[in-house]
Amino acid sequence: MQTAVSQTSPPKKSFLYDPKVRGIFYQVVLVAAIIFLFYVAATNAIENLQRAKIASGFGFLNNTAGFDISQTLIQFSAAGGTYGDAFIVGLLNTLIVSAIGIFFTTFLGFLIGISRLSKNWMVAKVAMVYVEVLRNIPLLVQLLFWYIAVLGALPQPRNSLEMGAGFYLNSRGLFMAKPLYASNISILLTVLAIGLVGTFVYRRWARKQQEQTGRQYPVGKVTLALVLGLPILTWIVLALVGANPISFELPRKGTFNLTGGMQILPEFVALLLGLVTYTAAFIAEVVRAGILAVSKGQTEAAGSLGLTPGQTLRLVVIPQAMRVIIPPLTSQYLNLTKNSSLAVAIGYPDLVQVFMGTVLNQTGQAIEVVVITMGVYLTISLLTSFIMNIYNRRVAIVER
């Protein structure tokens, strides 16, 4: 029997049946199609650009922009600023609204997410209504709504709302005290750095002590004292000596307008409000799912070990919930950053509004501008997901 089988050699097959050959064939076709597509697009683009007499290349970044931007974190003027400067101004505006938005939305999102799990029926229901309403209305509609609600309800500059402590509110935005730094700010910064290094060293020491002897040291309090207390103490001492490193310039009320101080645009306020409240609804769901993902047995086991409810939350539930929460939380942060591009709808000068709007219209160099702008967002996204992958590998559960 066996010899009979071995004697019949398998029928000669066409090499086209070889999966390897087929795979190579498919991929060659795909590559050819992609190259053809790019080739056609590129030749058409070159021809069209030449016909429209539009320059190409990135030289336009050094040309004078000739337009003003309403919010600039660096020095920028219509006369002297180049398109390259305008790009940096727009980028910084995007980054600052995203950073502040992420800070507030985390706070609000966690608050609402925890509220949804509250035993208090009222609190849970209100949080649920918040999430459902905010999640199901487009951000653009919310932004326009906030913009009109924020801008429309505010008075003219001459009858600004006075809120005390140097805060004024009117239709041109929020005015507040502007910090001015003296040259000896460096002392303060040095002290802050010392505090940070000290905290780091102390924390390592405390952990080592706990691992070796089981004794716990007050890490939180010492951190607070070193990072916040030390610089503030230095500041007070310096101020008493008469070398105050930080002073404040208050806005002064003129007949028609406010001068001095720091102005926060109403567009910024509207965008921030919209982004924070919208993203918070999504973060709330992430937080809720994360907390629910920690099985009840964990809480019960912690209780049977004699941990107090506070300790259970701090040492058992939160560390495990965070493992589930952090990846989707990061993607929500990325969403917020990407959604900040909706600023273009209400006129906040972010990257898209300044660069893909004004600069694109003035220079007509669509390809370069689009590539640069998308490159920025892509870099932010890829960088974040790269860091997230490293983090995930670190916190992933090591199975037996």
Which residues of the chain form contacts with another protein (CB under 8 A)? Answer: 14, 16-17, 23, 26-27, 30-31, 34, 40-41, 44-45, 47-49, 51, 118-123, 126, 132-133, 135-142, 144-145, 148-149, 152, 338-339, 341-342, 344-345, 352, 356, 360, 366-367, 370, 373-374, 377-378, 380-382
Quickly tell me which residue has 């910090």 as its tokens: 179
Nearer to another protein, 188 or 283 (CB): 283
Quote the least distance from Cβ 42 to another protein, whole Å: 8
Quote the least distance from Cβ 345 to another protein, whole Å: 5
Nearer to another protein, 299 or 363 (CB): 363
Nearer to another protein, 31 or 237 (CB): 31
Nearer to another protein, 143 or 321 (CB): 143
How far apart CA 57 and CA 368 sit, in angstroms, is 7
Quote the least distance from Cβ 399 to another protein, whole Å: 18
Nearer to another protein, 40 or 163 (CB): 40
Nearer to another protein, 144 or 246 (CB): 144
The answer to whether 316 and 298 have CB atoms below 8 angstroms apart is yes
Quote the least distance from Cβ 21 to another protein, whole Å: 12
Quote the least distance from Cβ 123 to another protein, whole Å: 6
Quote the least distance from Cβ 125 to another protein, whole Å: 9
CA angle 10, 16, 17 (to 5 degrees): 50
Q: Which tokens belong to 132?
A: 């459902």
